[in-house]
Amino acid sequence: MNKPCLITVIGPTAIGKTALAIDLAQHFGTEIISSDSRQFFKEMRIGTAVPEPEELQAATHHFIQHLSVTDPYSVGDFERDALELLEELFRHHDKVIMAGGSGLYVKAVTEGLDDFPQVDSLIREKLNRKLENEGIESLQSQLKNLDPDYYERVDLNNPHRLIRALEISQGTGRPYSWYLQNKTKDRPFQSLLVGLTADRDVIYERINERVDLMMEKGLLEEVKTLKSHSQLNALQTVGYKELFEYLEGNCSLDEAVGEIKKNTRRFAKRQLTWFRKLPDVLWFDYRTPRQDIISAIEERLQLKE
């Protein structure tokens, strides 16, 4: 008997992953797991482009706004929870759809997390002090020198990710990216990656339009309600950090919105860098007719049988 299949939709932010995932779920009569770590938190609806109510009704979604920003939740927690859910879903479906732009979270489910050695806790303490005293730019510069490969892939505006990479690099003498090359762990299902992409100018235009739409929908008001939690890791993300700076009086609103657009474009570039290194991805232009994508998926699945 063939293994069930997890079909994962990947690609840069604002490319249309949600719409494709819904169409695939409807075609295959199945459900959707979100691997977008920014959409886990119920207080962050607008700034993370959570699917609209009608989209959530069009297909059953999991891991959407199921946590609070005050809940600690790691990629390891997601790997455990997603695998448990998949075990249940595969009892009723031979295919399940996963969608999201968080490359590490996709990797956790499809391949498993890498095993990192223990390092001296003093290293993290020193890095946290460096962040507090010298700012995030000092961590970015240090990572660029120690691990230029991971520097091109990581969210440079996420201090938690930067510190994790730096403490491993410093504590072991090997770049963090070296530990991301470990053997794939066995899964009781097969995986198929389906990627959406577009010319860079198109991606950037779609990002700019999405940010403007978020502001129209009330992103600033959403961020105001979260100001007292601005130090939490969940909120160290594009769309929130920039508006916290505005609320602190460190920049104008126009400047903050411009920074959101710029940082989101940088994030999309790193997403593509991560995803393009993955093997055996079925890549499609974002305008490709749905039936063409579905036909290509079904053909690939037949070859896997």
pLDDT digits (tens, 9 = 90+) for 207-238: 999 999 999 999 999 999 999 999 888 898 99
Contact 11, 196 (CB under 8 A): yes
The vertex-144 CA angle with 143 and 145, nearest 5°, equals 90
Average pLDDT in the 156-176 region? Answer: 90
Average pLDDT in the 248-268 region? Answer: 97
| Architecture of the CATH domain 121-181 | Orthogonal Bundle (1.10)
With 70 as the cut, is the pLDDT of residue 182 above it?
no
Beta strands in 18-157 (DSSP E): 32-34, 61-62, 95-99
With 80 as the cut, is the pLDDT of residue 91 above it?
yes
> Residue 18: how many CB atoms within 10 A of its CB?
24
Q: 5-114+182-304, what's its fold?
A: Rossmann fold (3.40.50)
* CB burial of residue 119 (10 Å; 0-12, 13-18, 19+): middle
Q: What residue ranges do the domains of the chain occupy?
A: 5-114+182-304, 121-181
State the pTM of this model.
0.86
Closest CA to 270 of 109, 100, 143, 149: 149
Q: What is the pLDDT of residue 305?
A: 65
- 184 pLDDT tier (thresholds 50, 70, 90): confident
The vertex-255 CA angle with 250 and 258, nearest 5°, equals 140
Q: What is the pLDDT of residue 59?
A: 97
pLDDT digits (tens, 9 = 90+) for 36-72: 999 999 999 999 999 999 999 999 999 999 999 999 8
Task: Using alpha carbons, list the distances in angstroms from residue 134 to 48, 127, 137, 233.
Answer: 28, 10, 8, 18
